[in-house]
Amino acid sequence: MIIITILLFLLAGLGEIGGGYLIWLWLREGRPFYFGILGAIGLTFYGIIATFQSFPSFGRVYAAYGGVFIVLSVLWGWGVDKKAPDLYDWIGALICLVGVAVMLWGPRH
């Protein structure tokens, strides 16, 4: 169950960040129109993938995904934009992941 949760968050993140990046390239850097179309498809993919999570609460899934999104964005910036994260980026990312774990797998009464 944990592996599927993580995999779904990673796929959603790739759809959202990749889609947003393609739209960024289209509108901010003058890339062809089809970059925008592909970006919109990626963003749609992100919205669909999140619905496959097994958690019953939309708010909890999206809040937890927000932490994953932050970590993936730091990694995207490092790998794609070639902007190396500093110590505080890594500390912030770790705090986000701890928050995600508490939200998703903390004991409930």
Residue 32: CB atoms within 10 Å: 10
pLDDT at site 57: 85
Domain assignments of the chain as residue spans, ordered by start: 2-105
- Residuewise pLDDT in 10s, the chain (109 residues): 889 999 999 999 999 999 999 999 999 999 999 999 999 999 999 999 989 998 888 888 889 899 999 999 999 999 999 999 999 999 999 999 999 999 888 998 7
Contact 67, 99 (CB under 8 A): yes
pTM here is 0.86
pLDDT at site 109: 79
Closest Cα partner for 17 from 48, 42, 49? 42
